[in-house]
Structure 1
């Protein structure tokens, strides 16, 4: 589906900021009816090398949107802009 919007959370186990980001992303994705997924950077050497200092990282359709903390209003606006 070419118009699909997918939010991706890059994180790792035991990351409290990742837990906070997950809660925001779940809420926004649910409210706006978009898909979301989570990737564990410890399972990918490429993800780990690229993102380990920035987690949690939020991607929208594969493009980096945010890191460290997820601003709910900013995430909602970014998704709305893609619609």
Structure 2
């Protein structure tokens, strides 16, 4: 059986960030259209829970979009690039079981 793995998009955000909210809503729409997994990470909440690395690295340019764990864009969704990268990055997995 052959299957295509889904890309994973993470949005790094913080509470009270109106630009972050706008970007998140656009990513929700794109996830439905382009079939990728989407998660939202509040960098301040992560720091309060003991993981300050994301806030230290990305906190000055939120929102930040990560594609499969790598920085893809910040302050907005680079939609043409995201569409291209998602189309090029699909991984076909052969499953003999």
TM over 0.5: yes
* In structure 1, distance between residues paired with 2:15 and 2:82: 23
Cross-structure match for 2:20? 18
Moved more, 69-78 or 38-47: 69-78
Aligned length: 83
Structure number with larger C-alpha Rg: 2
Alignment TM-score, normalising by the size of structure 2 = 0.77
Aligned Cα root-mean-square deviation (Å): 1.7
Contact 2:19 2:63 (C-alpha < 8 Å) held by counterparts? yes
Cross-structure match for 2:49? none
Cross-structure match for 2:30? 28
Contact 1:24 1:72 (C-alpha < 8 Å) held by counterparts? no
Cross-structure match for 1:70? 77
Where structure 1 has 5 or more consecutive residues not aligned to the other structure, the ranges are: none
* In structure 1, distance between residues paired with 2:29 and 2:79: 9
Q: Cα distance, 1:24 vs. partner? A: 1.6
Q: Cα distance, 1:23 vs. partner? A: 1.5
Alignment TM-score, normalising by the size of structure 1 = 0.89
Moved more, 41-50 or 52-61: 41-50
